[in-house]
């Protein structure tokens, strides 16, 4: 186990707050003396099937604790997922059903081990104890906090002022998240800055149960790929799959590489600070002096981390070929199209060919001028494409396919 000073130096790196820092130092000192690892908790609700780079900021901090010799507890909130985390929400989040949660949880378990060491990780589900709680136990839990305290949360307070509904079950969320720390006997809990209130509830509930309260460490929230600096101010929502501004860790290498290259030059330093593990390495390009080189280095590093060295090399070459040398890929995927009419709207062609996630996204991309047919820009989502021969369909800067129409004559 590393000396305490070395551990603290690593754990502070990239952290926003450690609450309270002296308690964390005491826990680390005791751990070194006894040889007993700390239990470090990170919870995530399986609200979507894929993790993105925004999630990896705090996951990497959990890995830092593992590298210091401690035990990581990755808690999948299959019970809290049915409530829906109200953090940062202006309205009640749609609750997920058990089937959705189970499917998403399985993908989480696979994806987190791209970062965490599986031999030093406990994967737990909070349904283990919450499903066993009786109604009387829930009442006792709710008695630990007042409505006034819960309404101190910014998101609840804002909704209350604006007369937006706050469902009673949403008020339970911080309590359940805090109670998870009791059941897991967590020494430390990690979370983004938006989770601070919930993390501190865990400390209070541990005191109630006679446990030593956990230390809390918060990490920054990574902005989405569409964030920009406007008049020196960072403008943009945090990375979110639902907002379409995320980079998923399971995305294809070329897609991942291209999305990193699309990040605003002004934000490269922040993305490097939050995502790179090589930012202090020799020869690292300075994003302020050469943002293009810095982007290339970060894109190559991220793709290599999640897909391997060869995939990173191929993604970099494909990007250079397509965008820097203004060439199309040498191998363009073909999509067979069985026509049911003489022509098809371009928006339908895009969505059903798999080049957009939905018909609405396809229409939006067309209107934004992000679509080309045989090199010609298309801006009308209802532009009819004749169903004969083949067309080269380009969507955005990274998606391209040749659509081959079925030549079978119709009766």
Per the prediction, the chain carries an average pLDDT of 85
Residue 337: the pLDDT is: 86
Among 19, 89, 14, 4, which Cα is nearest to 47's?
89
Confidence class of residue 92 from pLDDT cuts 50, 70 and 90? very low
Q: Which CATH number fits domain 334-405: 1.10.1500.10, 3.40.50.1970, 3.40.605.10, 3.10.290.10?
A: 3.10.290.10
Residue 51 CB partners (closer than 8 Å, separation 6+): 59, 108, 111, 112, 248, 249, 250
Judge whether residue 91 has pLDDT over 50. Answer: no
Task: Tell me which of 78-87, 205-214, 276-285, 305-314 is least confident.
Answer: 78-87
Residue 346: the pLDDT is: 92
Judge whether residue 222 has pLDDT over 70. Answer: yes
Q: Enter the tokens of residue 150.
A: 């819960």
Residue 329: the pLDDT is: 65
SS3 per-residue string spanning the chain: CCCHHHHHHHHHCCCCEEECHHHHHHHHHHHHHHCCCCEEEEEECCCCCCCEHHHHHHHHHHHHHHHCCCEEEEEECCCHHHCCCCCCCCCCCCCCCHHHHHHHHHHHHHHHCCCCCHHHEEEEECHHHHCCCCHHHHHHHHCCCCHHHHCCCHHHHHHHHCCCCCCHHHHCHHHHHHHHHHHHCCCEEEEEHHHHHHHHHHHHHHHHCCCCCCEEEEECCCECCCCEEECCEEECCECCCCCCCCCECCCCHHHHHHHHHCCCHHHHHHHHHHHCCCCCCCCCCCCCCCHHHHHHHHHHHHHHHHHCHHHHHHHHHHHHHHHHCCCCCCCCCEEEECCCCCEEEHHHHHHHCCCCCCHHHHHHHHHCCCEEECCEEECCCCCEEECCCEEEEEECCCEEEEEEECCCCCC
For 229-240, the pLDDT digits (tens) are 888 788 888 888
CA distance 388 to 410: 12
Q: Which CATH number fits domain 4-219: 3.60.20.10, 3.30.565.10, 3.50.50.60, 3.40.50.620?
A: 3.40.50.620
Q: Which of residues 246 and 284 earns the better pLDDT score?
A: 246
Region(s) of the chain under CATH 1.10.240: 228-324
Q: Which of residues 281 and 245 earns the better pLDDT score?
A: 245
Judge whether residue 110 has pLDDT over 60. Answer: yes
Confidence class of residue 64 from pLDDT cuts 50, 70 and 90? very high
Residue 69: the pLDDT is: 95
Query: What length does the chain have?
Result: 411
Residue 410: the pLDDT is: 43
Q: Which of residues 119 and 398 earns the better pLDDT score?
A: 119
- Of 43-52, 104-113, 305-314, 360-369, which has the strongest mean pLDDT? 305-314
Q: Which of residues 269 and 101 earns the better pLDDT score?
A: 269
Residue 325: the pLDDT is: 61
CATH hierarchy code of domain 228-324: 1.10.240
Residue 265: the pLDDT is: 86
Q: Tell the residue number behind the tokens 């199309």, with chain if given.
A: 328
Task: Tell me which of 103-117, 146-160, 339-353, 393-407 is least confident.
Answer: 146-160
Confidence class of residue 409 from pLDDT cuts 50, 70 and 90? very low
- Of 2-6, 233-237, 384-388, which has the strongest mean pLDDT? 2-6
Q: What is the mean pLDDT of residues 246-254?
A: 88
Residue 118: the pLDDT is: 92
CA distance 280 to 289: 16
Region(s) of the chain under CATH 3.40.50.620: 4-219
Q: What is the mean pLDDT of residues 327-352?
A: 83
Residue 282: the pLDDT is: 62
């Amino acid at each position: 186990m590393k000396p305490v000073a070395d551990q603290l130096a690593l754990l502070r790196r990239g952290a926003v707050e450690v609450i309270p820092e002296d308690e964390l130092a005491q826990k680390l000192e005791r751990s070194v003396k006894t040889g007993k690892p700390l239990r470090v908790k990170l919870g995530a609700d399986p609200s979507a099937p894929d993790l993105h780079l925004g999630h990896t900021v705090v996951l990497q901090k959990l890995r830092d604790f593992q590298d210091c010799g401690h035990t990581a507890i990755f808690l999948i909130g299959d019970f809290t997922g049915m409530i829906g985390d109200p953090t940062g929400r202006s309205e009640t989040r749609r609750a997920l059903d058990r089937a959705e949660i189970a499917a998403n949880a399985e993908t989480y378990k696979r994806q987190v081990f791209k970062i965490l060491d599986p031999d030093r990780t406990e994967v737990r589900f909070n349904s283990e104890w919450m499903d066993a709680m009786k109604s009387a136990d829930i009442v006792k839990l709710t008695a630990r906090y007042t409505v006034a305290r819960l309404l101190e949360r910014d998101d609840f307070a804002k909704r209350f002022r604006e007369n937006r509904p706050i469902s009673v079950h949403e008020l339970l969320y911080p309590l359940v998240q805090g109670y998870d720390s009791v059941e897991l006997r967590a020494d430390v809990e990690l979370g983004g800055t938006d989770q601070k209130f919930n993390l501190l509830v865990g400390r209070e509930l541990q005191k109630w149960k006679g446990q030593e309260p956990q230390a809390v460490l918060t990490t920054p929230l990574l902005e989405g790929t569409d964030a920009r600096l406007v008049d020196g101010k960072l403008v943009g929502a945090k990375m979110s799959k639902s907002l379409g501004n995320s980079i998923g860790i399971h995305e294809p290498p070329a897609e991942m590489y291209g999305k990193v290259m699309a990040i605003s030059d002004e934000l490269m330093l922040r993305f490097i600070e939050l995502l790179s593990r090589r930012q202090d390495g020799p020869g690292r390009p300075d994003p302020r002096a050469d943002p293009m080189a810095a982007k290339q280095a970060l894109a190559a590093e991220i793709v290599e981390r999640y897909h391997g060295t060869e995939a990173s090399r191929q993604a970099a070459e494909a990007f250079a070929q397509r965008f820097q040398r203004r060439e199309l890929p040498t191998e363009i995927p073909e999509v067979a199209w069985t026509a049911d009419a003489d022509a098809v709207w371009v928006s339908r062609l895009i969505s059903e060919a798999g080049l957009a996630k939905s018909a609405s996204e396809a229409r939006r991309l067309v209107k934004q001028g992000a679509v080309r047919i045989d090199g010609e820009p298309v801006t009308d989502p209802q532009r009819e494409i004749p169903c004969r021969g083949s067309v080269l369909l380009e969507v955005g800067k990274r998606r391209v396919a040749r659509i081959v129409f079925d030549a079978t004559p119709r009766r």
